[in-house]
Structure 1
């Protein structure tokens, strides 16, 4: 791919497509009443997944794009936990059955900011109100800088199976520029402590495109991470959106790498991980060859949801906590983002739904196409359209892939399309051609690379 073709796509702002349609298209037309009726219609024999959001941190990382609040004291966390428990009860009361659960994911913020006993009690509540499968995956996002030995023990006793450790970069220059000082030694000690506590699965999260980051520093970070022998890596490009996340204004824009450097960093990380034996999974994940995620990718059963790539086959994700997004067969729901508003909604009616989106048949068709493109780098439009009772020819014509095909981003054979290996960093640009909702302004989305 020539430099001019690269430049044409690299800086485009494109959704990550962890949902379709994406969250900017949610509206208040879907409210708590809508959500209650959707919950009531869930079949008893279909497992669901749970996502619990804990929106608190002890300090702000300046690159952060998450919904979180900084607190040095525990009182807001304790109050929030009470509201979260009340929301869990309200959601379960709205369900017609004690719903089976196969996957649980704690995100944040910093979920392990909870007291160990409170976390164990929260897991016990979930086991009481839902029918957690004996082999259910319970995953927790962790900031290694603040995890205590007591909390690691609580995670193990609670049956946590997977921990995602935020690393981002071990380069001290980059760490100072993003306000996240985290030593390799501390991270290694946390990984050891989690394994000793019985948490077998360890994931590491890295970011490229950070201020003062270089290809060399990315390679050095990967080399240190490999010493920890994680099962998986997630490697994300930094999205600089200071208009939506004001704390990102603390980052020096002049120190951010340009599009070509971002791509070089991403590919350097990928090459180092592949050389170490990790399989490249979709756009931004890497896993050991025998890991369930690698096996799912090979079998064509990889999925994508709000946590990114996943082996979770469930069609229903129940979101709990402020700002949490849920997905049901009928559509999407999102809780109130502001903590005070979230608490008031739960206190008033039990459900905190602020907005959402009711899916149309065309949305479901396009969501399926986009998911397969992002998971498999290929899609058979005839097969997908047949499952949805749709016209594959019209879908392909509306996507207008000719310019992308001319630039080498996609190849078509009849109504089967595939993204060549050298164009895979730009796969979101291909997926976007099937997005009927993509707004003219995409400033809040991440660059294509």
Structure 2
């Protein structure tokens, strides 16, 4: 039954629903002027989260779907870091106050590609422009292959308390096929050195569905990772979109597993992690029972944003850097994707907003429904629709895709309460998509559902 469902629904290309509507629906109808107005309207008591994008790596991993480029010299990185500091100060001036900050996330690319003194300058600029709460989570994404002791010291000095280490796979056949050769010893050294520096909350990122990957190699990677006992795992399915990411053309289609094999790999990883004591969080995260994310799941306070599952409940996410996306109560904004265009805008003292999306009331209603489905595998449509002044039955009537999911046993519907069947949770994106009023316009841009 599960294999049949994976074959039936798995080929469909669907969003990961880290936002709703998703980024392909952003347009230049929202630009710097609109963003400035939205910033000015943020309530005085609001607390923000910050995302800073560093679009540089030492080499290109061929599976990568991020906005990043290869930088072998220090100068472009230093110039970009200076632009980030300027943007932080520019946004703070627009806010006209030191806004409280509860979460900071450095993403990429490889944020730890910055020189230690550059990172120190950047985190100093953030603390000067914003009031970073003593309880704030400060997280950074790390490539263990290039992490140095000096960088670790700078991270610890800057208050970083969570680190996400890219692992993907320890299978050498897979590593050569994706141009990311990384030994277990490199990964273990990075984890040990971070913990010794006081950065004890570690996340490991794994990927299934990679070229030449097998269930056995997935399980071997998990087994090695468990020796290091990170607090969290994020387990993503490889998104093969060579039309939009040209370096992915180095990965041949016939090297990739089909939907059923991808499903079996995902299940094998999930079962191994759960047997090792980790709690499954939504679609693709796993956490130890004592971790904040596992606690949020138990308390029903889990959320989802552009970094995936999160404990962050802020309604204000400020994005900094080329291609960075921000979220405000009014909608979404995205900076210029090209580094040169971004830097030119910031150098001229202007907001670098290139596009965005202004939310409608229907968008807000559907966004809340989709978030609860993605986080809880269930949703009380009646309660949510009532909060938005809408009727649950009208919502159900507007989702013809749901009828097929109910018929196939993927979803159980009790009045206006919806629950994803236990053995069909791997299709949660398909369930969320039933409530996506914009889906048909962007299907080709997304990864396979399984």
Work out whether the TM-score is over 0.5.
yes
CA contact (8 A) 2:87 2:346 kept: yes
CA contact (8 A) 1:42 1:96 kept: no
Which 10-residue stretch deviates more, 399-408 or 169-178? 399-408
Q: 1:441 to 1:19 in 2, by over 3 A?
A: closer
Q: How does 1:412-431 map to 2 (within 5 A)?
A: 412-431=413-432
Q: Tell me what 1:111 maps to.
A: 111
Which 10-residue stretch deviates more, 150-159 or 233-242? 150-159
Q: Deviations over 1:216-275 (max 9, x none)?
A: 000000000000010000000000000000000011221101111100000000000000
Please give the alpha-carbon distance, in whole angstroms, between the structure 2 residues aligned to 1:214 and 1:338. Answer: 37
Q: Tell me what 1:356 maps to.
A: 356
SS at match of 1:192: helix
CA contact (8 A) 2:378 2:420 kept: yes
Q: Tell me what 2:367 maps to.
A: 367
CA contact (8 A) 1:47 1:314 kept: yes
Q: Tell me what 1:377 maps to.
A: 377
Q: Deviations over 1:163-186 (max 9, x none)?
A: 000000000000000000000001
Alignment of 1:210 onto 2:210: yes
Alignment of 1:97 onto 2:80: no
SS at match of 1:345: helix
SS at match of 2:170: coil
Q: How does 1:250-261 map to 2 (within 5 A)?
A: 250-261=250-261
TM superposition shift of 1:81 = 1.1
SS at match of 1:62: coil
Please give the alpha-carbon distance, in whole angstroms, between the structure 2 residues aligned to 1:301 and 1:134. Answer: 21
TM superposition shift of 1:3 = 4.3
CA contact (8 A) 2:2 2:424 kept: no
Q: Tell me what 1:397 maps to.
A: 397
Q: 1:133 to 1:63 in 2, by over 3 A?
A: same
Runs (5+) with no aligned partner, structure 2: none
Please give the alpha-carbon distance, in whole angstroms, between the structure 2 residues aligned to 1:206 and 1:271. Answer: 14
Runs (5+) with no aligned partner, structure 1: none
Q: Tell me what 2:127 maps to.
A: 127
Please give the alpha-carbon distance, in whole angstroms, between the structure 2 residues aligned to 1:125 and 1:26. Answer: 30
Please give the alpha-carbon distance, in whole angstroms, between the structure 1 residues aligned to 2:222 and 2:2. Answer: 28
Please give the alpha-carbon distance, in whole angstroms, between the structure 2 residues aligned to 1:249 and 1:331. Answer: 34
SS at match of 1:42: coil
TM superposition shift of 1:88 = 0.9
Please give the alpha-carbon distance, in whole angstroms, between the structure 1 residues aligned to 2:5 and 2:365. Answer: 30
Alignment of 1:39 onto 2:39: yes
CA contact (8 A) 1:11 1:447 kept: yes
Q: Tell me what 1:329 maps to.
A: 329
Please give the alpha-carbon distance, in whole angstroms, between the structure 2 residues aligned to 1:414 and 1:29. Answer: 39
TM superposition shift of 1:350 = 2.5
SS at match of 2:77: helix
CA contact (8 A) 2:6 2:263 kept: no
CA contact (8 A) 1:44 1:98 kept: no
Please give the alpha-carbon distance, in whole angstroms, between the structure 1 residues aligned to 2:165 and 2:91. Answer: 30
CA contact (8 A) 1:211 1:255 kept: yes
CA contact (8 A) 2:52 2:319 kept: yes
Q: Tell me what 2:25 maps to.
A: 25
Please give the alpha-carbon distance, in whole angstroms, between the structure 2 residues aligned to 1:344 and 1:141. Answer: 26
Please give the alpha-carbon distance, in whole angstroms, between the structure 1 residues aligned to 2:49 and 2:124. Answer: 16
Q: Tell me what 2:285 maps to.
A: 285
Q: Tell me what 2:49 maps to.
A: 49
TM superposition shift of 1:46 = 1.3
Please give the alpha-carbon distance, in whole angstroms, between the structure 2 residues aligned to 1:157 and 1:86. Answer: 21
TM superposition shift of 1:441 = 4.8
Q: Deviations over 1:393-422 (max 9, x none)?
A: 101111122111111110000000000111
TM superposition shift of 1:348 = 2.6
Q: Count residues in correspondence.
A: 449
Superposition TM-score, scaled by structure 2 size: 0.99
SS at match of 2:30: coil
Alignment of 1:435 onto 2:436: yes
CA contact (8 A) 2:11 2:449 kept: yes
CA contact (8 A) 1:26 1:356 kept: yes
CA contact (8 A) 2:53 2:109 kept: yes
Which 10-residue stretch deviates more, 81-90 or 373-382? 81-90
Superposition TM-score, scaled by structure 1 size: 0.99
Q: Deviations over 1:286-330 (max 9, x none)?
A: 000111100101111100000000000101100000000000000
- How much is the aligned-residue C-alpha RMSD, in angstroms? 0.9
